[in-house]
Amino acid sequence: MRNLIFFISKYYVFFLFFALEIFSFVIIYRFNNYQKASFVNYTTGVTSSFYSTISNTKQYFNLRHVNDSLQLENARLHSQLITSYYENKFTPKLVNDTIYKQQYEYIPAIVVNNSVTKRNNYLTLNRGSDHGIVPEMGVISENGIVGIVMNVSEHYCTVLSLLNNNCKISAKIKKNGAFGSLVWDGSDPRFARLLDVNKHVPISGNDEIITSNFSTIFPEGIPIGKIYSHSLDAGDNFHTIKVELNTDFGTISSVYIIRNLIKDEQKNLENSIKK
């Protein structure tokens, strides 16, 4: 207490000056309309800026929730696309059914681990068996193909990235329907190769590459990329096609896992023929 009294007695002139300054400003802004209006306008601007900053901060921290909501909505819309249904024209008229039945469902997921610099790359997603995930499900991003589910635990799954030498995707040229196998050569994560396209097929630069219908993993028509370059050496029976991928694997953060609702039926039928 003694120190406080000593401090006040030492600097009482400053405190007195400060109090008189405040009192003077109060008198000026209270009894002069111009100064009062200026002060009100200034404080209103400061208050508005303050509340705007608070609002922007709240919106920023709410982005995760907004992103999750958008992912769920996108998954629902993907599931309603015509490519997610198969045509059932031969359903008897006595059965109360529609012409189209849903074949594919989309499950939103977040990438929790990813590699792009290795020869064989993988991703880890925050979806597992508790969410209905099983091996050999397709994975796509908003831009294109990502990979294929390999191993599954209760809450996570690992994905064989398209940037993996063991990953092979059935693809085709959208313009003419010529199909082949899309593989990665282990060098640049921006590019892959389309193999086994016959030399008689006309090829043009920037032709779009999409998934074919020869797959139980991906629906037909999912975008993959576009032709970056191509060549045909003398004596070769197949084109050498370099494809620029749509998916940027270095920045990917959210994906969709595709469930083919009738895949088992097709695989069981095909396996019975092989026996």
Of the residues 27, 46, 61, the one at which a domain ends: 61
Clarify whether residues 117 and 55 are in a common domain.
no
pLDDT value, residue 10: 73
In a domain, 79, yes or no: no
State how far the Cα of 257 lies from the Cα of 146, in Å rounded to an integer.
10
State how far the Cα of 197 lies from the Cα of 3, in Å rounded to an integer.
91
pLDDT value, residue 59: 65
Q: Which amino acid, residue 133? A: I
State how far the Cα of 86 lies from the Cα of 101, in Å rounded to an integer.
6
State how far the Cα of 210 lies from the Cα of 241, in Å rounded to an integer.
14
What residue has token string 């290795």? Answer: 118
Q: Which amino acid, residue 39? A: F
In a domain, 92, yes or no: no
pLDDT value, residue 93: 34
What residue has token string 């004596």? Answer: 235
In a domain, 76, yes or no: no
Clarify whether residues 182 and 265 are in a common domain.
yes
In a domain, 95, yes or no: no
Residue pair 207/251 in contact by the 8 Å Cβ criterion: no
Residue pair 115/253 in contact by the 8 Å Cβ criterion: no
What is the residue-level pLDDT of the chain in tens, covering all 275 positions?
677 777 777 777 777 777 777 777 777 666 666 666 665 566 656 665 665 677 667 666 666 666 766 776 676 666 666 555 544 443 333 334 455 678 888 999 999 999 999 889 999 999 999 999 999 999 999 889 999 999 999 999 999 999 999 999 999 999 999 999 999 988 899 999 999 998 888 888 889 999 998 888 999 999 999 999 988 877 788 888 999 999 999 888 889 999 988 888 888 888 888 65
pLDDT value, residue 275: 57
Tokens of 150: 């390999």
Clarify whether residues 45 and 174 are in a common domain.
no
pLDDT value, residue 269: 86
Clarify whether residues 12 and 117 are in a common domain.
no
pLDDT value, residue 133: 92
Clarify whether residues 121 and 252 are in a common domain.
yes
pLDDT value, residue 91: 38
Closest CA to 104 of 272, 254, 275, 261: 261
Clarify whether residues 129 and 9 are in a common domain.
no
The string of DSSP letters for 180-206 reads EEEE--SS-TTEEEEE--BTTS---TT
In a domain, 72, yes or no: no
Number of independent structural domains in the chain: 2
Clarify whether residues 50 and 151 are in a common domain.
no
- Reported as a single tens digit per residue, the pLDDT across 236-255 is 888 889 999 999 998 888 89
In a domain, 21, yes or no: yes
- Reported as a single tens digit per residue, the pLDDT across 170-219 is 999 999 999 999 999 888 999 999 999 988 888 888 899 999 988 889 99
Q: How far is CA 122 from CA 44, 138, 139, 141, 164, in A?
A: 54, 14, 12, 15, 8
Average confidence score pLDDT of the chain: 80
Longest dimension (CA), the chain: 103
Clarify whether residues 230 and 126 are in a common domain.
yes
What CATH code is carried by the domain that includes residue 163? 2.40.10.340
Its pTM surpasses 0.75: no
pLDDT value, residue 78: 65
Q: Which residues contact 235 (CB under 8 A, 6 or more apart)?
A: none
Clarify whether residues 195 and 130 are in a common domain.
yes
Residue 123 domain boundaries:
107-274
Of the residues 25, 41, 61, the one at which a domain ends: 61
pLDDT value, residue 94: 35
Clarify whether residues 119 and 40 are in a common domain.
no
Within 13 Å, how many C-alpha atoms sit on residue 44's CB side?
A: 6
In a domain, 264, yes or no: yes
In a domain, 171, yes or no: yes
